[in-house]
Amino acid sequence: MSDSGTNGSGRGGGPRQGGQSSGRSGSHRDAKGRERNRGPRTFTDNAPSQRTRRADPARLVAFEVLRAVASEDAYANLVLPARIRHHGLDKRDAGFATELSYGALRGQGTYDAVLARCVDRPLDQLDPAILDALRIGAHQLLAMRVPAHAALDQTVGLARAVIGAGPSTLINAVLRKVSARSLEEWLELLLSEETDETRIASTRYAHPEWIVRALRQSLVAHGRPVAEINDLLAADNAAPVVNLVALPGLGSLDEALEGGATPGELVADSALSSGGDLGRLASVREGSLRVQDVGSQLVARAMAAVDLGDRTTRSSGAADGGERWLDLCAGPGGKAALLAALARQQGAHLLANESAPHRAKLVRQALSAVPEEGWSVRTGDGREMGAEQPESFDRVLVDVPCTGLGALRRRPESRWRRTPKDLVDLGPLQRQLLKSALDAVKPGGVVAYVTCSPHPAETTAVVSDVLRKREDLELLDAGAVLDSVSLTGGLDAGHDLTAQLWPHVHQTDAMFLALIHKKA
Ligand SMILES: C[S@@+](CC[C@H](N)C(=O)[O-])C[C@H]1O[C@@H](n2cnc3c(N)ncnc32)[C@H](O)[C@@H]1O
C-alpha cells in the first residue's frame, strides 16, 4: 500500500514523471534502460551507460551484487570479492561496498516495507533493477552514516548510469520520501497498528515470518528463554566478526596478531581478525592460518576431545595403532583442516569424505597445510559409508547439509531464499547420514552430529529419531565437552545432553552438537 502518489517505472507501463510527459528522447532512453535491464546482466566497463556517466564504484559493486543475487541466484559472499577485485576498490571502498551490499540484502524485508509506502504500485511490479537500486538507497539513508544528500545523489547517479534516466527520476522521488523519516520513525509508522508479535519482529528485524517463528521454536527447544528472540534476530543483522584459527601444531597466530588481530577469548589458537585482505598474510596463503567461525572450531575440537579411554576396539585401527577419524560431509573442508591438525597431534588418521567432486577438491586444498600421511580424501556418498566400512572409525564427524538458519548473518540473502519446505526436504538425508555415521563408528567410539542450524527439526528431532531405534547408543554430555575445550568454560550451551551455540550469546554461528557414544 502506498501512502503517496509517486509514479513507478514498472515492467508494464512507461515511467510517468510527476504527471508530466517525459518527452520523446526521455521515453526512448527509458525504453533502452528497461531493455538493458531484462534478464541476467553483467555491467562491464564497456557498457555505453558507463562510458558516458561513471557510477561511484563502491555503489556500483553493491548494485551488481544485488542484481547477481536476484537474477542469477548467486551467493553474495562469492560475487562480492570478485566484483571488488574487478573494479579495483581500495580497502575503504571495499568496506563500504561490503556494508552496503550485505546490509541492503539482510535488511530487504524492512526496506521493502518502507519502499512500499513510497511507491504507487506493488513492489513486485517494479523493474527488479530499480527495486535493487531503491534498496541500496534505503540502506544508506536508514542504516548507514551516509549524509542524506550523498546517499540520494550517488544512488540516483548510479541508477542514471546503469539503468536509465527515467528510472533515476523515479528513484530520486522515492528516496526523497524515504529520507523524510529515520528508520525508527518508519518502523513506528509501519507498526503503529500491528499487534501480531511475529509480524512486528519480522518487519523490525527483517526476517521472514516463518523464520521468526522457527527461531523462537529453536530457542525453546534448546532451553533458552523465548524472550531472547529479538536479541537473536538483531545478532543475525550484525556484520559477523572474522575469526581465525592457527592449525594446532602447524600454524601460528603471530603474523595475524602483529597485523592487529586480537587473541580469541573462547578457544585456543584463535584470533579475531582486524579486517582487510587476509591474503596479505603468508600464513593464510599457505593454509596454516584459516578463517573459521569459533562455533565450528569448538564443535570440531569437542569431537577430538571426547575421552574414549580404551573403549574402542583397536583391531581395525590405523596401521600404527592410532585412531581412525572420519569427517563424513567434509566440503569445503573447514572443520576437516582443524580435525586433520588435531588428528596429527593425537597420532590419528583422518578420512575426509565429500559427495560433490568440486567440493572434495576444496577439501584437498583446505588440508594441504597438513602433512599428507595424516589424511586422505574420498569423493562419495556418505550414506554408503556405514555399509562400506562398518565399525571402522573411532571418531566420526557428521556435519550434515542443513538450512543454515544458524548462519544467517554470514549469508545475507539466504533468509529470503530458504523456505519451510527445506526443513522437510533435508530431514531424510540428515537421518540417513547420521545412521551411516553410526554404522561406520566402532563400538566404544563417538559420532559428533553437527548442524549450523538450531532448528529442532534438524537437530534434536533427528538425533532422538535415530537413537530411539537403537539400544547400542547413548548421548554424552555435549555441553560439558564444549566447556572442556573452551578457554573460559561455562558456555551454558548444554541442554538435555546436546549443546547449542548462539550468535547473541556466544557471538558464534548457531552450531548444534550432539555427541553419540556407541556402547562397547
Ligand atoms: C554443512 S556442509 C559441511 C561443512 C564442512 N564440515 C566444513 O566445516 O567445511 C555439508 C556438506 O555435505 C555435503 N553432502 C551433501 N550430501 C552428502 C552426502 N550424501 N554424502 C556426503 N556429503 C554430502 C555437501 O556437499 C556439503 O559440502
Q: Is residue 37 situated within a structural domain?
A: yes
Q: Is 359 in the pocket of ligand 1 (CB under 6 A)?
A: yes
Q: Long-range contacts for 65-70 (Cβ within 8 Å, ≥24 apart)?
A: 65/97, 65/101, 65/105, 66/101, 66/104, 66/105, 66/132, 66/135, 66/136, 67/41, 67/43, 67/128, 67/129, 67/132, 68/40, 69/105, 69/413, 70/128, 70/132
CA of 164 to the centre of ligand 1 (A): 43
Task: Output the nine-digit C-alpha cell for 176.
Answer: 526523497
For a pocket test of ligand 1, which of 335, 355, 365 has the largest count of ligand atoms closer than 8 A to its C-beta?
Answer: 355
Task: Output the nine-digit C-alpha cell for 190.
Answer: 509501519
- List residues with catalytic annotation: 452
How many domains would you assign to the chain? 3
Q: Is residue 235 situated within a structural domain?
A: no
pLDDT score, position 91: 87
Alpha-carbon span 319 to 395, nearest angstrom: 16
pLDDT score, position 214: 98
pLDDT score, position 320: 61
Give φ, ψ of 507 to 5 degrees: 60, 30
**Ligand 1 atom index nearest CA of 328:** 21
pLDDT score, position 279: 86
Give the closest residue (by CA) to ligand 1 atom 16: 355
Cα dihedral 59, 65, 66, 67 in deg (nearest 10): 110
For a pocket test of ligand 1, which of 299, 351, 354, 414 has the largest count of ligand atoms closer than 8 A to its C-beta?
Answer: 354
Q: Are 333 and 270 part of one and the same domain?
A: no
Which residue matches cell numbers 550432539?
514
Q: Please give the residue range of the domain that contains residue 60.
A: 23-178
Q: Are 264 and 361 part of one and the same domain?
A: no
Alpha-carbon span 336 to 352, nearest angstrom: 7
N residues, the chain: 520
Q: Is residue 371 situated within a structural domain?
A: yes
Q: Is 296 in the pocket of ligand 1 (CB under 6 A)?
A: yes
Q: Which CATH number characterizes residue 56's domain? A: 1.10.940.10
Q: Are 374 and 350 in contact (CB under 8 A)?
A: yes
**Dihedral sign for Cα atoms in the order 62, 408, 489, 290:** negative
**Model-level pTM?**
0.88
Q: Is 458 in the pocket of ligand 1 (CB under 6 A)?
A: no
The closest of 37, 257, 48 to 132, measured between CA atoms, is 37
pLDDT digits (tens, 9 = 90+) for 126-176: 999 999 999 999 999 999 999 999 999 999 999 999 999 999 999 999 999
Q: Are 443 and 341 part of one and the same domain?
A: yes
pLDDT score, position 276: 77
Q: Are 265 and 306 part of one and the same domain?
A: no
CA of 146 to the centre of ligand 1 (A): 40
Q: Is residue 83 situated within a structural domain?
A: yes
pLDDT digits (tens, 9 = 90+) for 71-89: 999 999 999 999 999 999 9
pLDDT score, position 275: 80
Q: Are 362 and 474 part of one and the same domain?
A: yes
pLDDT score, position 53: 55
Q: Is residue 220 situated within a structural domain?
A: no
Q: Is 330 in the pocket of ligand 1 (CB under 6 A)?
A: yes
Q: Are 288 and 390 part of one and the same domain?
A: no
pLDDT digits (tens, 9 = 90+) for 431-479: 999 999 999 999 999 999 999 999 999 999 999 999 998 999 999 999 9
pLDDT digits (tens, 9 = 90+) for 8-17: 332 222 222 2
The closest of 189, 191, 159 to 173, measured between CA atoms, is 159
What residues have CB less than 8 Å from 398, skipping those under 6 apart? 328, 329, 382, 433, 434, 436, 437, 447, 448, 449, 450
ipTM above 0.85 for this complex: yes
pLDDT score, position 310: 64
Average pLDDT along the chain: 89
Q: Is residue 224 situated within a structural domain?
A: no
What residues have CB less than 8 Å from 157, skipping those under 6 apart? 53, 55, 56, 168
Annotated binding site: 329-335, 354, 381, 399
Q: Are 279 and 304 part of one and the same domain?
A: no
Give the closest residue (by CA) to ligand 1 atom 12: 329
pLDDT digits (tens, 9 = 90+) for 360-403: 999 999 999 999 999 999 999 999 999 999 999 999 999 999 99
Q: Is 511 in the pocket of ligand 1 (CB under 6 A)?
A: no
pLDDT digits (tens, 9 = 90+) for 299-346: 999 999 999 986 555 444 455 679 999 999 999 999 999 999 999 999
Section 242-270 average pLDDT: 97
Section 98-114 average pLDDT: 97
Q: Taking the mean position of all CA atoms in its chain, how far away is CA 340?
A: 24
Q: To which H or E segment does residue 78 belong? A: helix 76-86
Q: What percentage of the chain carries pLDDT values higher than 70?
A: 88
Q: Cα separations (Å) of 294 from 265, 299, 341, 430, 499?
A: 10, 9, 16, 23, 15
Q: Are 265 and 145 part of one and the same domain?
A: no
pLDDT score, position 367: 98
Q: Is 335 in the pocket of ligand 1 (CB under 6 A)?
A: yes
CA of 245 to the centre of ligand 1 (A): 21
Q: Are 315 and 281 part of one and the same domain?
A: no
**Dihedral sign for Cα atoms in the order 353, 357, 359, 365:** positive
Write the secondary structure of 172-186 as one string of H (helix), E (strand) and C (coil). Answer: HHHHHHHCCCCHHHH
Q: Which CATH number characterizes residue 367's domain? A: 3.40.50.150
pLDDT score, position 407: 97
For a pocket test of ligand 1, which of 292, 294, 299, 329 has the largest count of ligand atoms closer than 8 A to its C-beta?
Answer: 329
Angle (CA) 440 423 464, round 5°: 45
Give the closest residue (by CA) to ligand 1 atom 10: 401
Last residue of a domain, one of 138, 163, 178: 178
Give φ, ψ of 119 to 5 degrees: -120, 150
Q: Is 251 in the pocket of ligand 1 (CB under 6 A)?
A: no
Cα dihedral 495, 411, 242, 101 in deg (nearest 10): -150
CA of 286 to the centre of ligand 1 (A): 24
CA of 450 to the centre of ligand 1 (A): 11
Q: Cα separations (Å) of 486 from 292, 395, 396, 475, 481?
A: 15, 20, 20, 20, 9
CA of 433 to the centre of ligand 1 (A): 10
Alpha-carbon span 155 to 158, nearest angstrom: 5
Q: Are 154 and 59 in contact (CB under 8 A)?
A: yes
pLDDT at 32 over 70: no
Please give the sequence-ordered ranges of beta strands (E in DSSP) within 383-464, or none if there are none. Answer: 393-399, 441-451
pLDDT score, position 360: 98
Instruction: Give the pLDDT band (50/70/90) at residue 52.
Output: very low
Q: Is 333 in the pocket of ligand 1 (CB under 6 A)?
A: yes
Q: Is 291 in the pocket of ligand 1 (CB under 6 A)?
A: no
